[in-house]
């Protein structure tokens, strides 16, 4: 193999890098921004949280995440899962349009 071939990223490498970066970005949204939005909307709609505020809410959520609670993980992964659903729908529409 030539040195140029080793420096040139493959299509699979680019795809994997893009997907990993997308997953990390959406995981950040699910771990940081989404809990803030959930707490804020809950605070406005339902009133004060039973704990001492956002810190208690996030502490309880992170404890559930660490313990492997499926609902907490669903909340955290929901931005990525929503993107995957949109991608699958787009694939279905493209496939249906070809036939």
Residues of the chain short of pLDDT 70, as ranges, are: 1-8
Q: Is residue 5 part of a domain?
A: no
Please provide the DSSP assignment of 78-93 as one string: HHHHHHHHHHHHHHHH
44-63 residue pLDDT tens: 898 877 777 888 989 999 99
Task: Give the per-residue pLDDT at 10.
Answer: 86
The pTM score is: 0.79
User: The domain containing residue 17 runs over which residues?
Assistant: 10-98
Pick from 23, 40, 10: nearest CA to 77: 23
Task: Give the per-residue pLDDT at 2.
Answer: 53
Task: Give the per-residue pLDDT at 6.
Answer: 56
Q: What angle do the packed helices 54-67 and 34-46 form, to 10 degrees? A: 130
Q: Is residue 56 part of a domain?
A: yes
Our count of domains for the chain comes to: 1
Q: Is residue 3 part of a domain?
A: no
């Amino acid at each position: 193999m030539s040195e140029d071939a080793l420096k040139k990223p493959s299509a699979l490498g680019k795809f994997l890098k893009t997907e990993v970066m997308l997953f990390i970005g959406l995981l950040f949204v699910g771990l940081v921004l989404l809990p803030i939005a959930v707490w804020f909307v809950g605070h406005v709609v339902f009133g004060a949280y039973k704990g001492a505020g956002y810190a208690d809410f996030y502490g309880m959520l992170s404890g559930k995440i660490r313990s492997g609670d499926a609902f907490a993980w669903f909340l955290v992964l929901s931005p990525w899962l929503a993107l995957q659903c949109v991608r699958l729908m787009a694939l279905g529409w493209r496939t249906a349009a070809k036939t």
